[in-house]
Amino acid sequence: LPLDADVLIPHGLGLQPDCLTPPHAGVREGQDHDEVGLETGKRGAPLGDQQRLQMANQHALLRTRMMPVSNIIPRLQRSVRQTGRLLDKEVEFTVKGEGTRMDSNVLNDLMDPLMHMLRNAVDHGIEKPEARLAEGKSPEGHIELAFAREGDTIVVRCRDDGAGLDHGPIRRIAESKGMIVPGHIHTNEELARLILMPGFSTRDEASQVSGRGVGMDVVRTNVTRLGGVVDVEPEARRRTT
């Protein structure tokens, strides 16, 4: 079962941590303390020197805590390469929005969910070269991780061009585990979200990469802890986001 987490994370993973909220409504990113004091004075009574200095310090602290996504890309690339070698799969990994800046604590906390998601995409999504050739695809699979800022929210989308989610096995496993009622009609979107449930796995045997009962629920749990959400948007037998 492939992942494309538009956060495959196949619609997306949205984060809105409090640390990205400016320390004062009158402070815009890029303003210095002189501009802040002048603008605030236009709205009301001028701020005292101590208040202006405090606001400037808060804003400077916020900016020093921001770091570009590019700082973690080498580790993600290494994880994808290693997983591909373990599974004898050819994978091209690309990243968009490397210059997107995030709070360093949030970015570090995202490392485990992102690596888990990427390993899942290689393991469950990307097919072996011979299988891809039989489907008329290039032997090399493609995974794209994209970062973008939308207002005060950071959106991370992970897409692969693998086989897509196979809803039949997902339904059967979910029924056997009592997650859904046998025979009940579920949409493909509802079935896709079952992969985010605790303990869900489509593998009967554990390997170095998967099948140990630790799945996409770990990604959702960690992202939720950060105040974000995870969604899956599969395209059956084609790809996942």
pLDDT tens for 166-183 read: 888 889 988 998 999 888
pLDDT interval class at 241 (50, 70, 90): low
Q: Is the pLDDT score of 23 beyond 50?
A: no
Q: What is the pLDDT of residue 206?
A: 58
What is the CB neighbour count within 10 angstroms for residue 129? 16
pLDDT interval class at 146 (50, 70, 90): very high
Q: What is the pLDDT of residue 34?
A: 42
pLDDT tens for 77-136 read: 999 999 999 999 999 999 999 999 888 888 899 998 899 889 989 988 899 999 999 999
pLDDT interval class at 204 (50, 70, 90): low
Q: What is the pLDDT of residue 235?
A: 65
Whether the CB-CB separation of 157 and 114 falls below 8 Å is answered with no
Q: What is the mean pLDDT of residues 185-213?
A: 75
Name the β-bridge partners of 157.
146
Minimum mean pLDDT range among 37-46, 55-64, 189-198: 37-46
Q: Can you tell me the distance from the alpha carbon of 114 to that of 96, in angstroms, rounded to the nearest whole number?
A: 14
Q: What is the pLDDT of residue 214?
A: 57
Q: Can you tell me the distance from the alpha carbon of 100 to that of 69, in angstroms, rounded to the nearest whole number?
A: 6
Choice between 146 and 149, residue whose per-residue pLDDT is larger: 146
Whether the CB-CB separation of 240 and 234 falls below 8 Å is answered with yes
